[in-house]
Chains A and B, each alone.
Chain A
Amino acid sequence: MNDSYREELLSAYLDNEVTDAERAQVEQWLAESVEFRQLHEELRAMRQELRSLPTHKLDRDLSADVLRRAEREVLAGRSEGNGQVTPRSTVAEWWSRPKSGRMWFWPALAAAAALLIALVDLRQDAPERQVAREDKLVRAAGEKSGSELYGQKDGADRVSGRVMARSAKPADADIADVAPRESMPSLDAAVKQVAEPTAGASPESDASVSKAAPSPGQGYASPKNKATAAGVGVVNQAGEVKLESNVQSALANRSQLNLIQCEVSPDYLRDKRLDKFLVTNSITYKKLDEAQTTNYHLYFQAQQLEQAKKIPQASQPEALYAVEATPEQVELIVHELDRDRARVSNLSLGLQLLPAEQLEGAPQAEAPAGKAPAAPAMRKEAAAESRRAKLQSQQPVQIWLRQTAPGGAAAKPAAAPAPEAEPVPPPQP
C-alpha cells in the first residue's frame, strides 16, 4: 500500500468522509506511525488556519443592482455564454398574458427605429381637464370663421377649427433640460414629419395652405413661434379629423414610427422620471413641446380616420417623447414604464405608422385647400376593400396592443372607441 493512498485516506478521514473500514484502517496507521501522526497534526493545523481566514462581507445589498442588470439581460434577450433567452418579471408577465397580444408586439417593434412615447395625465378625464383640453383645441384651432373651416361648419353645436402646424424650430428652452446633448437628424426628421406634417408637403400644397393660414400671432402658436403656420386639418368636438391634402401628401412619405402610450400620474411627469431613465440609459430622445404634442395628437387622430379607425382613439398627451431606439432599448423603455404600476397604467404598445402608400397605394388626389375632399360612399368602400386586400397580402401595417387588466379584460384607454375591425394577423416568421 503506497503512501499516496494512505495520505488520501487520511485526508478523507480528516473530513469524516470515510467508511467504517477505512476509518479503522486510518486509526491503525495513526497508532503505528509517528510520521503519519505528524502529517495528521499538520493537516489539522492547516485546516484551522484556513478556517481562521478573515470573513469578508459586502458593504451593501446587491439585490437592486442585480435585478436591474438581470432585467436588462432578460430584456436584451441574452445571457452570457449561451445566448439563452429567459423572459421573466413584469415584462415577461405582460408578455405571457394571452390577451396581451404578445405575438403582435415583436413584429411591431422589432424594426423600431423611431418611437413615440405619449404620456397621458391620469387626470385626463376629469371634467375640468376635459374642458381645458377642449379649450386648448379651440385655441389651437385659431380662426373659426366659416371661410377658413375645412369641412364641418354647419352647426353652432359643433366646434371645429383649424389646427396649426408650425414649421418654426422650437426654441432650445422647449426641449427638456435633460434632453440629450447631441443632434439627432433622423429623430428630428421623424418629429418633423409628425409634429410638423407640412414638412413633407409639396410646394403647391404649401402655397395653397398658406392662403388659409391665420396671420402670425393668431391661433395656437405662441409669439416666439409665430413662424409660418399651415393647416393640418380640422377636428370637431366629436373628435373627427379630416386631413388637409398637404398633410395627406406628407403622410405618403413618412417613415415607420412606433408608438407607446400610457397614462401616468402627475408626479411622474413632474419628477421627469422618464427623462431621467432615458438619459441614464443613453437613449436618444427629444421631448416635444406643447404645440408639437398637440399637432401630433391631431395627426394621430387623423391616422385613425385614415386607417379605418382600427386604432382606439388616444387622449391628448401631456408629454410626448420622440425616441430613437434599438429594439433592445424599446424593450427597456417598455419595461421601465410597465414596472412602475403605481404611477403608470394603460400601457399601450406597438402602434405602427407606416407610409401611407402601404395602406392605400398612392396618396389621394389633393383637394383644393378650404374644401373637403371628395369621399363618396362607393369610393370609401372600395378603398376599404382595397386596404383589406393589401393588408392580407402584405405585412401588417398597423398593430395596436393594449395591456390586459389582471382580470383579463383589456384596459380601456380614455375615450377609446372599440376597434371596428379585427387586428391584422401578424407576419409569419
Chain B
Amino acid sequence: MNDDAQLIGETLRGNPAAFGQLVTRYQDRLYNTLVHVVGSTDLAHDAVQDALVQAYVKLETFEQNSSFYTWLYRIAVNLAISRRRRERPMQSVEQVREAVGHEPVDTAADAPDSRLEQRERAGQVQQALTALSDEHRTILILREVEDCSYEQIAEMLDLPIGTIRSRLHRARLQLREQLKGMFQEDRT
C-alpha cells in the first residue's frame, strides 16, 4: 500500500485517483471523530466532504511537516465547528440520539439488556459533551476518542502544548460535572 506522502506526490503530479485513495483511507476515521465533535451525522458527513475537498484544493500548501491526517483533521475540525455554529447552534435530543448511533460497541455477544444500558450511557455521555464548549469538546474527543498525543492535538488546533494541557484539564472537569449524576448512580 502506498504511504500518504507517495499518494500526495502522485496527486500533485496530476493523478486525482491517488487522492481518492487518501479519501478512502481516512474518511471513516474523520467521520467518526466529527460526529462526536459536532453531534450530528449529517453535519459530520458534510464536514468530512468539505474537508476532503478543501484538502485536495489546498494540497500544494501541505508542507508535510506533520502527518497528512493531522493536517486534514485541522481543516475538518475548523470546517465542522464553523458549520455547526452556522447551521445548528442548538443541539437537540434527537441529534444526540443520532450521534449516539445504533451500533453496539464491541458488544456483539452481550445480552440485550447490557447493550441497552450501554446505549443509554453513551447517550448520557454524548448529551454531556454537547454541554461543553466547542473547544473543550473537540479537545476531549481528540484525546479520548482519537487517542491523539498532546503534540498532535497542538498541531491540529494550532495551540501551544501548555494550552492543550490546561484546556484538557478544564474540559475533563466540566464533563465530570455533567456526568456527576451518572457516577453517583454507579456508586449506589
Contacts and interface: CB of A to CB of B under 8 A. Distances in A.
A53 B150 contact: no
A98 B151 CA distance: 43
A222 interface: no
Interface in B64-106: 100-106
11 contacts: A7-B169, A11-B168, A42-B183, A53-B145, A54-B103, A56-B44, A67-B19, A88-B12, A88-B60, A89-B14, A90-B16
Interface string B166-181: 1011001101100100
A64 interface: yes
A285 B103 CA distance: 48
A6 to B, nearest CB: 10
A74 interface: yes
Nearest to A57: B28
Contacts of A51: 144-145
Nearest to A92: B14
B4 interface: no
A63 B25 CA distance: 10
B52 interface: yes
Contact of B121 (A49, A79, A88, A93): A49
Contacts of B27: 58, 61-63
A58 B48 contact: yes
Interface in A167-195: none
State the main secondary structure of chain A at its contact with B: helix
A371 interface: no
B103 A63 contact: no
A53 B57 contact: no
Given A57-B28, A61-B23, A63-B24, A8 B165 contact: yes
Contacts of B15: 89
B130 interface: no
Query: Can you list the 10 inter-chain pairs with the closest CB atoms, starting with the nearest?
Result: A63-B20, A93-B14, A70-B56, A50-B144, A54-B101, A63-B23, A8-B169, A11-B169, A79-B57, A66-B52
B138 interface: no
Given A45-B183, A67-B19, A53 B31 contact: no
Contacts of B176: 42-43, 46
A58 B20 contact: no
Contacts of B12: 88
B54 A88 contact: no
Contact of B118 (A17, A52, A86): A52
Interface of B: 11-12, 14-17, 19-21, 23-24, 27-28, 31-32, 35-36, 41, 44-45, 48-50, 52-54, 56-61, 100-106, 118-119, 121-122, 125-126, 140-141, 143-145, 149-150, 165-166, 168-169, 172-173, 175-176, 179, 183, 186
Nearest to B60: A86
A343 to B, nearest CB: 17
A417 B145 CA distance: 66
Contacts of A81: 54
Contacts of B49: 62, 65-66, 69
Contacts of B16: 67, 70-71, 88-90
A92 B13 CA distance: 9
A75 to B, nearest CB: 11
A52 B168 CA distance: 19
Nearest to B36: A53
A227 interface: no
A82 to B, nearest CB: 9
A237 interface: no
Interface in A18-64: 42-43, 45-47, 49-58, 61-64
B165 A54 contact: no
Contact of A88 (B59, B104, B166): B59
Given A12-B168, A51-B145, 11 more contacts: A4-B169, A15-B143, A49-B121, A52-B122, A53-B125, A58-B28, A63-B19, A63-B21, A67-B23, A79-B54, A88-B12
Nearest to A10: B169
B66 to A, nearest CB: 18
Given A53-B125, A71-B16, A88-B16, A62 B23 contact: yes
A15 B146 CA distance: 13
Nearest to A65: B49
A80 interface: yes
Interface in A278-333: none
A49 B186 CA distance: 13
Given A50-B125, A57-B28, A62-B52, A15 B150 contact: yes
